[in-house]
């Protein structure tokens, strides 16, 4: 915080924010929405977010006859008194000395800026804003010390902090508390092309690096595992999590041929079987398959008769078999025949088998239990039917396993029985969390449970308005890139107090590499310029354990390094 004040508080309220009049020597063009300012009160400093900028005049007659643009003398005379700039501030936090307030001080308090700067972080307490500063309190730019007091620093030995970016106008890292981040479900939102996947990769890299949780990523477009295309005119790639953390990340694939074509040599195959599909899974993809509620009701009759093998039994039935079954079991022949026709589309899914001698989901669980982070790639099987079915089937079984582990831990209280915190990443999240089906899917259950069974979601989506309001209210931390649709913007601020003040901030974000972060993992909403996902990031975050890599990957990495050096 510099010693030069930018303006003074002229009016405001706790609910509507503060109005600040800029001093005559401060140009309104210096003020940008999303900037951080500090208001020096009598007792406290108020850490504030700039939410709006406006122009004002002392006399409306000036606007009727404005001075010529070439008349710089008259413009200078009017500036600061007859014409001025205003900014709107939303107070977010208070820096308050820990000593109890003396109601009748014998000496006037030293309220100068230096008196606050002289105190250490141990002497200052961060509190939610419960009041506002007095009239004519001075306003200053926030300093690096203020940011560190609020957001901490990445190398803090007492917390798992991760630098996600920097403020728009300062070169100081903004950190999120990963322990608080992983204990609730979180969301990365933004319209297409704003960098959601890069942001998600940043976050997961931080979680892996700081060992805050294990990750299970359903990689719809094969962007997280080995490498991903970098946006821009030139064709280039960026490293995936397997390249950054070769000893800690495992790749499973539902389409081995596609994975091999992209040069990933050590991905493990993953297959599912028809007898693992439950009616809940069919209900989730009912819209994609065109299955009616009547057909699902009859599916229950089939499952009651044939158990886990009900789908295979249905697919092998003739029309006569179906009619005979309906006479005996009170089913509806037309609905069952329709269900049979719709389920035949499942034959096109490469990863589905009539029966699997090996339980691949247990293999994924063993990897997670060992502390490995798992990326499940879909390759050519990335259509919505395929993605939603496989994701739901795998997640339901993994969640069931975690419920048993959590219940055992609650019984024994033994640290060795405590499950590893698990974060499950899903894309196109509104497909799983739509209000029509959310109460019947495993993802709605996980989102509402918070950390009860040590499983949370990281939802990545471009249409937050499609997510059920109850689920959105449970999303702990929201990292939001640019959104244009009013419904989507409204959804971001579901359950957020003071959301109206932040709407203008969100609407003014750039389309690339900027995001608004608010919620459980940060002490206050903050607009950041996101950390670059580049060679410097690789060096700072990654792990290179060549002994863990196959010879082909070591050779490929060496070739890449030679190319980057120009050999």
If we measure between CA atoms, which residue out of 226, 202, 229 comes closest to residue 536? Answer: 202
Structure tokens at 41: 């009160």
Residue pLDDT, tens place only, 265-283: 788 899 999 988 888 888 8
Say whether pLDDT at 567 is over 80.
Answer: no
- Give percent above pLDDT 70 in the chain: 86
**How much is the pLDDT for 208?**
93
**pLDDT band at 552; cut points 50, 70, 90:** low
By residue count, the chain amounts to 567
Is the distance from CB of 469 to CB of 435 less than 8 angstroms? Answer: yes
Vertex 495, ends 494 and 501: CA angle to 5°?
Answer: 75
**How much is the pLDDT for 64?**
67
Give the other-Cβ count within 10 Å of 348's Cβ. Answer: 11
Torsion of CA 87, 528, 433, 450, to 10 degrees: -100
Higher pLDDT, 478 or 262: 478
Residue pLDDT, tens place only, 206-228: 999 999 999 999 988 888 888 77
How does DSSP classify residue 378? Answer: -
If we measure between CA atoms, which residue out of 399, 346, 391 comes closest to residue 368? Answer: 399
Give the other-Cβ count within 10 Å of 484's Cβ. Answer: 9
| For range 360-371, the mean pLDDT | 91
| For range 127-138, the mean pLDDT | 89
Residue pLDDT, tens place only, 99-111: 544 444 444 343 3
Say whether pLDDT at 194 is over 60.
Answer: yes
Q: Which of 30-39, 191-200, 419-428 has the highest mean pLDDT?
A: 419-428
The helix/strand/coil state of 60 is: coil
- Rg over alpha carbons for the chain, rounded to the nearest Å, is 29
Is the distance from CB of 270 to CB of 351 less than 8 angstroms? Answer: yes
**How much is the pLDDT for 84?**
83
| For range 57-77, the mean pLDDT | 71
Say whether pLDDT at 60 is over 80.
Answer: no
Instruction: Give the C-alpha separation, 263 to 5, whole Å.
Output: 58
If we measure between CA atoms, which residue out of 213, 237, 236 comes closest to residue 224? Answer: 237
| For range 380-395, the mean pLDDT | 88
CATH class of domain segment(s) 180-267+358-536: alpha beta
């Amino acid at each position: 915080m510099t010693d030069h004040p930018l303006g003074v508080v002229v009016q405001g309220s706790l609910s509507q924010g503060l109005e600040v009049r800029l001093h005559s020597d401060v140009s309104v063009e210096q003020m940008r929405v999303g900037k951080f300012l500090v208001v020096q009160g009598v007792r406290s400093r108020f850490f504030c977010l700039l939410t709006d900028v406006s122009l004002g005049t002392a006399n409306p007659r000036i606007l009727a006859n404005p001075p010529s643009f070439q008349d710089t003398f008259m413009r200078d005379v009017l500036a600061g008194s007859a014409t001025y700039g205003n900014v709107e501030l939303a107070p977010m936090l208070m820096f308050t000395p820990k000593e109890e307030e003396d109601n009748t001080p014998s000496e006037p308090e030293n309220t100068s800026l230096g008196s606050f700067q002289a105190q250490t972080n141990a002497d200052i307490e961060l509190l939610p804003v419960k009041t506002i500063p007095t009239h004519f309190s001075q306003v200053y730019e926030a300093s690096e010390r203020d940011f560190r007091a609020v957001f901490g620093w990445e190398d803090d030995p007492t917390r798992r902090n991760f630098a996600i970016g920097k403020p728009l106008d300062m070169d100081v890292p903004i950190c999120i508390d990963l322990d608080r981040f992983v204990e609730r479900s979180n969301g990365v939102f933004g319209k297409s092309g704003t960098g959601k996947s890069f942001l998600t990769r940043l976050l997961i890299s931080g979680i892996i690096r700081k060992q805050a949780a294990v990750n299970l990523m359903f990689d719809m477009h094969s962007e997280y595992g080995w490498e991903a295309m970098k946006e821009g005119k030139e064709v280039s790639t960026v490293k995936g999590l397997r390249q950054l953390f070769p000893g800690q990340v495992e790749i499973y694939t539902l389409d081995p041929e596609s994975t091999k074509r992209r040069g990933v040599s050590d991905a493990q195959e993953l297959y599912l079987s028809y007898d693992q599909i439950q009616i809940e899974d069919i209900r989730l993809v009912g819209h994609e398959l065109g299955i009616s509620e009547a057909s699902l009701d009859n599916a229950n009759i089939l499952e009651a008769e044939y158990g886990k093998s009900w789908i295979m039994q249905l697919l092998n039935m003739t029309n006569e078999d179906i009619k005979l079954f309906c006479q005996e079991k009170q089913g509806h022949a037309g609905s069952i025949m329709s269900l049979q026709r719709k389920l035949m589309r499942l034959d096109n899914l490469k990863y589905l088998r009539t029966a699997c001698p090996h339980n691949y989901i247990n293999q994924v669980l063993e990897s997670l239990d060992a502390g490995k982070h798992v990326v499940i790639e879909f390759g050519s099987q990335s259509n919505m039917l395929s993605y939603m079915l496989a994701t739901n089937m795998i997640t339901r079984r993994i969640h069931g396993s975690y419920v048993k582990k959590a219940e055992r831990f609650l019984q024994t209280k033994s640290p060795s029985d405590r499950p590893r915190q698990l974060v499950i990443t899903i894309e196109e999240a509104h497909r799983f969390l739509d209000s029509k089906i959310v109460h019947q899917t495993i993802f709605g259950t996980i989102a509402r449970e918070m950390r009860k069974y040590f499983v949370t979601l990281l939802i990545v989506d471009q249409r937050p308005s499609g997510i059920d309001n109850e689920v959105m209210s449970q999303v702990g931390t929201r990292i939001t890139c640019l959104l244009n649709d009013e419904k989507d913007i409204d959804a971001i601020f579901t359950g957020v107090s003071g959301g109206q003040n932040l709407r203008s901030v969100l609407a003014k974000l750039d389309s690339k590499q900027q995001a608004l972060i608010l919620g459980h993992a940060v002490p206050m909403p903050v607009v950041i310029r996101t950390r670059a996902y580049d060679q410097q990031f690789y060096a700072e975050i990654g792990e290179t354990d060549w002994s863990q890599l196959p010879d082909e990957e070591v050779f490929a990495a060496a070739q890449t390094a030679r190319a980057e050096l120009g050999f």
